[in-house]
Amino acid sequence: MAASEAPLVLVVEDEPAQREVLGYNLEAEGFRVAKAENGEEALLLVDEESPDLIVLDWMLPSVSGVEVCRRLKSRADTRAVPIIMLSARSEEVDRVRGLETGADDYVVKPYSIVELMARVRAQLRRVRPSSVGETLEFGDIRLDAESHRVYRGDHTLKLGPTEFRLLATFMEKPGRVWSREQLLDRVWGRDIYVDTRTVDVHIGRLRKALCQHGGEDPVRTVRGAGYALG
């Protein structure tokens, strides 16, 4: 287990671009990051660096992600380190097998960064409860990432998955204006093509959800630019 500074996340991914993107986002979230591009390197780094969490690609050259996972989970000293598995949609059939090898969570590509970060925090909280308390607040709105619940005042709000991720994105940086493209990228995921106007519809749904028990509309439309919270 790493020292009591920022949690160290080990990213194991053979595709360089994806590795960089993951690293960048994790660092932006305040984590320290170590990177490995194959199974051997990953196993070495686990011994050398003692990461607090591992993000592990399913498909890797030579020693596969599954194998890495299996080995770590059979060692007493590494068994407790949370592992989040990544896999392409076509490999989804192996979901059960992925969890069976001992992975703690499992994310299908293409994934939304917001969602992945939420899962990373959730896993870390399980192991290091103090370091990552994750409830976002803005005005009378409270968002609890772990339980996937949103409160406004005394009421619990009911919102769909996409609305939740939208709101989570907004609440990460209240006031910041997000373009439709940026929202599509963060909330929907990067490899997905949907019309930008779809964002408008979901903004509408989010607004309705946020005001279902009354209160002001906290979502601001910035003409020609995008949307923001507050």
Of 15-23, 78-86, 115-123, 205-213, which segment contacts a second copy by CB under 8 A? 15-23
* Region for residue 190 given its phi and psi (left: phi exceeds 0; alpha: psi -120 to 50; beta: otherwise): alpha
To a second copy, the closest distance from the beta carbon of 121 in angstroms equals: 20
Q: Which of 3, 4, 76, 93 binds a second copy (CB under 8 A)?
A: 93
221 φ/ψ angles, rounded to the nearest 5 degrees: -90, 130
Indicate the helix (H) or strand (E) that contains 167.
helix 161-172
Q: What six digits make up the tokens of 151?
A: 């409160």
Interface of this chain with a second copy, residues 104 to 143, rule: CB under 8 A: none
**Burial tier of 31 (Cβ tally within 10 Å: 0-12, 13-18, 19+):** buried
Q: Is 22 exposed, middle or buried (0-12, 13-18, 19+ CB in 10 A)?
A: buried
Identify residues 25-54 at the interface with a second copy (CB under 8 A). none
Angle at CA 98, nearest 5°, toward 189 and 85? 40
163 binds, among DNA, a second copy, none (CB under 5 to 8 A by kind): DNA
Assigned token pair, 177: 């204006």
We find the least distance from the C-beta atom of residue 124 to DNA, in angstroms, to be: 24
Give the residue, chosen from 163, 170, 172, 229, that forms a contact with DNA under the rule CB under 7 A.
163
**Binding of a second copy by 194 (CB under 8 A):** no
Show the site string, 151-190: x = touches a second copy by CB under 8 A, - = not. Answer: ---------xx-----------x-xxx---xx--x----x
Counting residues that bind DNA (by CB under 7 A) gives 23
Residue 204 engages DNA in binding (rule: CB under 7 A):
yes
In this complex, which beta carbon is closest to DNA, that of residue 162 or of residue 182?
162
Give one word for 87, left, alpha or beta, with left for phi > 0 and alpha for psi -120 to 50: beta
User: What are the structure tokens assigned to 91, written together?
Assistant: 């490999």
What is the C-alpha separation between 176 and 120, in angstroms, rounded?
24
Summarize as ranges the residues that interact with DNA (CB under 7 A): 160-163, 188, 192-195, 197-198, 200-204, 207, 221-226
Summarize as ranges the residues that interact with a second copy (CB under 8 A): 16-17, 20-21, 24, 58-59, 64, 66-67, 70, 91, 93-94, 96-97, 100-101, 146-149, 160-161, 173, 175-177, 181-182, 185, 190-191, 222-225, 228
